[in-house]
Amino acid sequence: MVEKSVPEDIKNMSFEDALHELESIVDGLEQGAGKLDEAIGVYERGTFLKHHCEAKLREARERVEQINVGPDGSISAEPTEIE
């Protein structure tokens, strides 16, 4: 199987824009509109969008920190475990 590279327009999308397009793709595929070849191309784009959204969520998760205040009033931050 030949792996295709992620299109530049997807790489530059925000999470929200990618998710919105992915939702539109899913809706279209569920309705069964279009020809098989078109559906396969749209499905492939949806796969790229899904991976892009997952990567954006991982990045956000890594950036989120939990702020802790100690008994003495000291403040510290550490990565938050989000599942």
Separation between Cα atoms, residue 63 and residue 50, nearest integer Å: 20
What are the start-end ranges of the E strands in the chain?
A: 65-69, 75-79
Separation between Cα atoms, residue 3 and residue 38, nearest integer Å: 19
The percentage of the chain sitting over the pLDDT mark of 70, rounded to a whole number, equals 88
Q: What is the per-residue pLDDT across 3-29, written as a single tens digit (0 to 9) for each?
A: 678 899 999 999 999 999 999 999 999
Task: Compare 64 and 24 and report the one with higher pLDDT.
Answer: 24
Phi-psi region of 64 (alpha: psi -120 to 50; beta: other; left: phi over 0): beta
Task: Give yes or no for a contact between 28 and 40, defined as CB atoms under 8 angstroms apart.
Answer: no
| For range 21-50, the mean pLDDT | 92
Task: Give yes or no for a contact between 68 and 77, defined as CB atoms under 8 angstroms apart.
Answer: yes
- What's residue 3's pLDDT? 60
